[in-house]
């Protein structure tokens, strides 16, 4: 039987779930990639399930169902999605030049909702490799996400920094869900028993991290540097659940994305019929 191909975001934001994910006795293959690559692989069907950007789910939602109670969310600051700006006010760049990192769809479109819909702006965008200094050569602001954003924020002494999760929370009072665990609909129908086991292992990994986060922090430090204080603060701001409040926040994101013309219509959030608690 072919293994279930599981994508893994190649960023530290999912370490708490994957560090403790015990799959050695399951028929699975882990495939680490950056979010934009995972989005593409899921859409093309070369990966069976994966955390993908919330916007990528919206673009192809008839192809997918979501695993319940798994996401990458934050209520307030997310700590790794930053707009670096030459201006002290977030809205000051609403008609300026903004450089976008080529690594995430959800964050780019969240920025567009905040700038174009909430602030009424009409900036010009360029898409570039995630190098802050180069991005800022011709731009008023630059959007970085994930590990690139973390490292840039640690060393930044030149630019004002705005956390998009905080900007979203100020505007809506809701959490923002940046990634969901999507499953190819056909695979979900054909391999529900194996997927149920995989799901239980992810829930177990989530619980183990809550009980003992230090190994994850040590691994994050090994990969990126930083110190225990920085990583504790970062992970404390993230939420890996996908309960009613996270679903409401995501539905609101989709609502605004549709109003802003970023997606064609309202998106259906469809969860697999799996036990949320084991």
Domain membership of residue 159 (yes or no) is yes
Residue ending a domain, choose from 153, 172, 191: 172
270 lies in some domain? no
Torsion angle in degrees (nearest 10) through CA of 187, 189, 195, 200: 150
Predicted confidence band of residue 276 (pLDDT cuts 50, 70, 90): low
DSSP annotation of 267 = P
What are the pLDDT digits (tens) for 190-244?
999 899 999 999 999 999 999 999 999 999 999 999 999 999 999 999 999 999 9
Looking at the fold, whether 182 and 63 belong to one and the same domain comes out as: yes
CATH code for the domain in which residue 32 is found? 3.40.190.10
Please report which confidence band the pLDDT of residue 278 belongs to, taking 50, 70 and 90 as the band edges: very low
Answer whether residue 269 is part of any domain: no
Judgement on whether residues 164 and 137 belong to the same structural domain of the protein: yes
Model pLDDT for residues 30-82, shown as the tens digit of each residue: 998 887 888 899 999 999 999 998 999 999 999 999 999 999 999 999 999 99
Is the same domain home to 167 and 210? no
> Which domain, by its residues, includes 117?
81-172
Whether residues 193 and 166 fall in one domain: no
Q: How many CB atoms lie within 10 A of CB 156?
A: 15
Kindly state whether residue 268 falls inside one of the protein's structural domains. Answer: no
Query: Phi/psi of residue 38, each to 5°?
Result: -65, -40
For the chain, the helix, strand and coil percentages under 3-state DSSP, each to the nearest 5? 45, 25, 30
Residue 180 domain-assigned?
A: yes
| Number of domains the chain contains | 2
Do residue 44 and residue 180 come from a single domain? Answer: yes
């Amino acid at each position: 039987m072919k293994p279930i191909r599981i994508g893994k975001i190649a960023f530290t934001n999912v370490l708490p779930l994957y560090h403790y994910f015990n799959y050695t006795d399951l028929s699975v293959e882990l495939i680490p990639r950056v979010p934009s690559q995972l989005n593409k692989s899921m859409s093309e069907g070369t990966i069976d399930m994966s955390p993908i950007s919330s916007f990528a789910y919206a673009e192809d939602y008839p192809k997918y169902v979501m695993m319940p109670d798994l996401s990458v969310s934050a209520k307030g600051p997310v700590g790794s999605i930053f707009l670096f700006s030459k201006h002290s006010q977030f809205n000051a760049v609403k008609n300026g030049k903004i450089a976008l990192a080529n690594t995430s769809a959800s964050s780019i479109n969240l920025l567009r909702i905040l700038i174009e819909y909430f602030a009424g702006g009409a900036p010009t965008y360029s898409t570039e490799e995630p190098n802050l200094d180069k991005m800022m050569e011709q731009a008023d602001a630059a959007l970085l996400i994930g590990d690139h954003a973390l490292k840039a924020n640690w060393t930044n002494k030149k630019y004002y920094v705005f956390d998009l999760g905080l900007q979203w929370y100020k505007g809506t009072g809701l959490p923002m869900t940046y990634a969901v665990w999507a499953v190819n609909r056909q695979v979900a129908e054909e391999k529900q028993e194996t997927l149920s086991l995989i799901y239980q292992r992810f829930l177990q990994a989530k619980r183990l991290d809550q009980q003992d986060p230090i190994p994850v922090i040590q691994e994050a430090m090994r990969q990126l540097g930083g110190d225990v204080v920085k990583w504790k603060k970062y992970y404390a701001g993230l939420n890996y659940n996908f309960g009613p409040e996270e679903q409401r926040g995501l539905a609101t994101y989709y609502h605004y994305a549709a109003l802003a013309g970023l997606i064609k219509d309202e998106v259906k959030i469809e969860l697999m019929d799996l036990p949320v608690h084991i």
